[in-house]
Amino acid sequence: MTDTQYLLQTIESLLNVPKQGEHDPYRPVWHFAPRVGLLNDPNGLSFYNGEYHLFYQWNPLECEHGAKAWGLATSTDMIHWQHKPLALAPTEEYEVSGCYSGSAIEVDGKLELFYTGNVKYPQGGRTAYQCRAQLSESGEVNKLGPVMDLPAGYSGHVRDPKVWRHGDDYYMVLGAEDLQKRGVVILYRSRDLTTWQKCGDIYGTDINGKQDNNFMLECPDLFPLDGKDVLITCPKTWIDIDGKATETFDVEVTIGALDYQQADYQVESTCLLDYGFDFYAPQTFEDADGRRLLFGWMGKPDEYEPYQPTKAFGWIHQMTCPRRLTISNNEVLQQPAEELATMRRNHLSGHCLSTSLAGLSAELLLQDINGATSTITIADDLVLEVTPSGVTTKRKNLKTGLWQQKTWPGKATSLQLLRDSSCVEVFINRGRAVMTSRMFGKASGVKHDCGFRFESDKPMSYQHWTLEG
């Protein structure tokens, strides 16, 4: 298939969005979502040519996983997004099974794009190429082709290049599965972005004493932050749930120190980056103000994905809000980017045991929790429970209708909740932990006046705003 043929199919898909999409109760007010098709990983995040650039994994032809393209949207405030022409389409032999995830770096006035060209063989098996493209100031994308074949010693699962500059050299980390089926992160170095030299495996199973059952580390992101080096990965392993082998979709963040000369990454601390139901494949970038910002995919490719009701409206999945990362007390904190406060309207505040607050796009700040036991109802299928020992998100399973739960084990002193039509992001203790989840119950599907309802055994101070995107 040529680029032109793929583009024509994309246009046809956009022109045939289901008519009920005009009355879609699940479409977000201000979170980024595709107009049509399936969205997953954020890619190529950058501030370039005076605008924020959000590339993303996209199947514009259907609400299913398949040979992914790269979509693109730009913004001046990370709230209002302008859809741009298709950035990358899987039309070359080295990417025929998909333009998989990657990153971007500005060099000499052009935005250099690096991504994985995925190739699956008809007889089984696969290979991967690390590819390069360029986005010009005029918005044209030029593919330069592969810069790296599949390296020796690894399976066909080598992907998701994250590229940055350090000193006079460029560096790249790749997520990989080695031939012993162990998940590792590989570090590479280059002077010209074309010829890459392997430095070594810097993180993963059996490296620096790390012991686990991970068979793959996806979407690695390594970056400096507040005098430390931070590594984000998506470890893949199998766990038993009710007698069934189930693939994990967690996101892990470590704080440590990278020795560039020795290709050695020493870990100081490790924890989950999100404790909710729907968060995967995040990526960070540095903007013009030096902030380290993160977007994540608000979704997971699990067995419940086919049951999401947005598919009836021609689309599936969305991005998280932009989050600013900092380090405090050797912990990575995530907080909503400052720009989001400009959406606040209709401020209310109080101090009480219980109340209901309107707004299907809204923000709720709860303070003075300090040991209170409380329940926050956000939708008919999603409830937040707070106790002195933890915060639990309870949600009805889309497939079975049974309640499931995810828990952050700690003492909450404050909660900041950002909700949109069919999602909520919960920032605990000023971003010490986050819980991200989608919900599709009546509170998100029927336009009534309840956005949050909380009940507590001790009075709590609250502030509430509706949010206008």
Q: How far apart are CA 65 and CA 106, in angstroms?
A: 30
Taking the CA of residue 429 as centre, how many other CA atoms within 13 Å lie in the half-sphere pointing to its CB?
16
Catalytic residue numbers, as ranges: 41
Task: Measure the CA–CA gap between 267 and 374, rounded to whole angstroms.
Answer: 36
Helix (H, G, I), strand (E, B) or coil at 317: coil
Measure the CA–CA gap between 395 and 302, rounded to whole angstroms.
15
Cα 7 to Cα 347: distance, rounded to the nearest angstrom: 45
Write out the two tokens for 248. 């994990």
CB atoms within 10 A of CB 188: 23
DSSP-derived secondary structure for 324-393? EEEEETTEEEEEE-GGGGGGEEEEEEEEEEEEEE--SSEEEEEE--TT--EEEEEETTEEEEEETTEEEE
As a whole number of angstroms, the distance between CA 161 and CA 222 comes to: 11
Contact residues for 234 (Cβ-Cβ < 8 A; gap 6+): 175, 217, 218, 219, 249, 250, 251, 252, 280, 281
Q: Tokens representing 349?
A: 């505040």
